[in-house]
Amino acid sequence: MAGLGIVRLTPVRQQAVSVSLATGAYGLSLGALAIAAGLDLWQTMALSLIVFSGGSQFAFVGVIGAGGAPLAGVVTSAFLGVRNGIYGLTLAPILRPMRGVKRAWAAQVTIDESTAVALAQPASDPDARREGFWWTGVGVFIAWNVAVLAGTFIGSSIGDPSTWGLDAAAGAAFLGLVWPRLASRGARLVALSAAVLALALTPVMPAGIPILSAALVAVAAGWREPSARDNPSPQGEMPA
């Protein structure tokens, strides 16, 4: 579909457009899941436009859909967004100087994908890195929000979401988001312990709290000095 146009773009822009389209595609599932979780169209679009970080949005919708309190949804999505702050730190020297509205926009589109494409360009070519960041950030912003809107119509036209396996799709979405981050043994241990802890706490704590408690595993695991092979990549290797 992007066929002829895309080959005329520079390699950085080609990467940006492909990543944007691929990421946008799973905005469809977010839109459908948000409606299934009980958000209305406007709430879903507000979430998508202003939170604008896939993991945080899936988390918010997941907690609400499971019957958790709105506050638990906010806190879970906030913790998942912490990594975007670190991306901002990493990108700031590349993107400076920026001020005012431009900086506000750069912050909003600071996500896994824009960071990954920017940092995939050679450090010796700061222009390519900037171009990768902006093209991917804005590209994903457009594709994602259009796809979420389309997803809401799917979500509201199918009746009981579990008949269509949407509950299972949400679990698969979280697995797909965490999968690329499991390259190291330490990361896999953290994932497994967090999953076990959250499941163990589910029968005894209000919805949403077991998931937040899993963050304690991250603090415990990250506190000590890792051996070289345990070290997780702070960038995350792939989109989320």
Partner 1 sequence: MSAYVWLWVAVIAAGLISWATKLAGHLVPQRVLDHPRALRVAAFTTIALLAALAAVQTLGDGAALRVDARMPALAVAAVLLWRKAPFIVVVVAAAGVAAGIRALGWG
CB of 15 to partner 1, least distance (A): 16
Among 77, 121, 136, 152, binds partner 1 (CB under 8 A): 77
Provide the mask over 158-177, with x wherever binding to partner 1 is found by CB under 8 A and - wherever it is not.
Answer: ----xxxxxxxxxxxxxxxx
The answer to whether the CB of 178 falls within 8 A of the CB of 34 is: no
CB of 144 to partner 1, least distance (A): 13
Amino acid at 205: M
Instruction: Output the six-digit token pair for 69.
Output: 């309190």
Rounded Cα gap, residues 169 and 163, in angstroms: 12
CB of 122 to partner 1, least distance (A): 20
Rounded Cα gap, residues 142 and 17, in angstroms: 11
Using the rule CB under 8 A, give the single segment among 2-10, 12-20, 99-107, 120-128 that binds partner 1.
99-107
* Per CB under 8 A, 2 contacts partner 1: no
Residues 6+ away with beta carbon under 8 Å from 7: 14
Give the DSSP H/E element, type plus range, for residue 136: helix 126-156
* Nearer to partner 1 (CB atom), residue 79 or residue 153: 79
* Nearer to partner 1 (CB atom), residue 10 or residue 46: 46
User: Could you tell me how many residues of this chain bind partner 1 (CB under 8 A)?
Assistant: 110
Instruction: Output the six-digit token pair for 71.
Output: 């506050």
Instruction: Output the six-digit token pair for 9.
Output: 């773009």
Residue numbers 104-143 binding partner 1 by CB under 8 A? 104, 106-108, 110
Would you tell me how many other CB atoms lie within 10 Å of the CB of residue 39?
Answer: 21
Among 16, 20, 55, 131, binds partner 1 (CB under 8 A): 55
Residues 6+ away with beta carbon under 8 Å from 204: none
Among 11, 92, 127, 227, binds partner 1 (CB under 8 A): 92
Among 3, 4, 5, 93, binds partner 1 (CB under 8 A): 93
Q: Can you say how many angstroms the Cα of residue 25 is from the centroid of all Cα atoms in its chain? A: 13
3-state helix, strand and coil shares in percent for the chain, rounded to the nearest 5: 75, 0, 25
Residue numbers 180-239 binding partner 1 by CB under 8 A? 181-182, 186-187, 190-199, 202-204, 207, 210-215, 217-219, 221-223, 226, 231-234, 236, 239
* Per CB under 8 A, 31 contacts partner 1: no
